[in-house]
Amino acid sequence: MLTASMRLTGTLNDGAEVYRSYFLVADFGSHGSGISSIVPLSLGAPMPDDDHMAVKYGGEEMALKAAAEAIKALPGNQGLEVRVVINPE
């Protein structure tokens, strides 16, 4: 199992400073696949329609990457600075 913290910071189009935080958890599926879960830690943080992501290949690493890419692509998160820490303490 892999975990990651993801923080997005920056300025929105209206000039407001923003800080958003997510926690990601990934685990192996069967035959090299991976499954990740997205947990928002900031009130009002945008979320994808599905808070679980599954990949057929690449295991935990690719599942975490898919979740991170989905979060970055959300309206309201585009253009923000992203910092990801794998297995935070």
- For the chain, how far is it from start to end, CA to CA, in angstroms? 14
**4: pLDDT strictly greater than 80:** yes
- Please tell me the predicted confidence (pLDDT) of residue 48: 94
Q: Which domain holds residue 23?
A: 2-86
The sheet carrying 17-28 orders its strands as 52-55, 34-40, 17-28, 2-11, 81-86
Q: What is the pTM of this model?
A: 0.89
- Kindly report, residue by residue over 12-54, the tens digit of the pLDDT: 888 889 999 999 999 987 778 999 999 999 999 999 999 999 9
- Please tell me the predicted confidence (pLDDT) of residue 30: 73
Number of domains in the chain: 1
- Please tell me the predicted confidence (pLDDT) of residue 52: 93
If one compares 8 and 15, the residue with the highest pLDDT of the two is 8
Q: What is the mean pLDDT of residues 64-84?
A: 93
- Please tell me the predicted confidence (pLDDT) of residue 27: 92
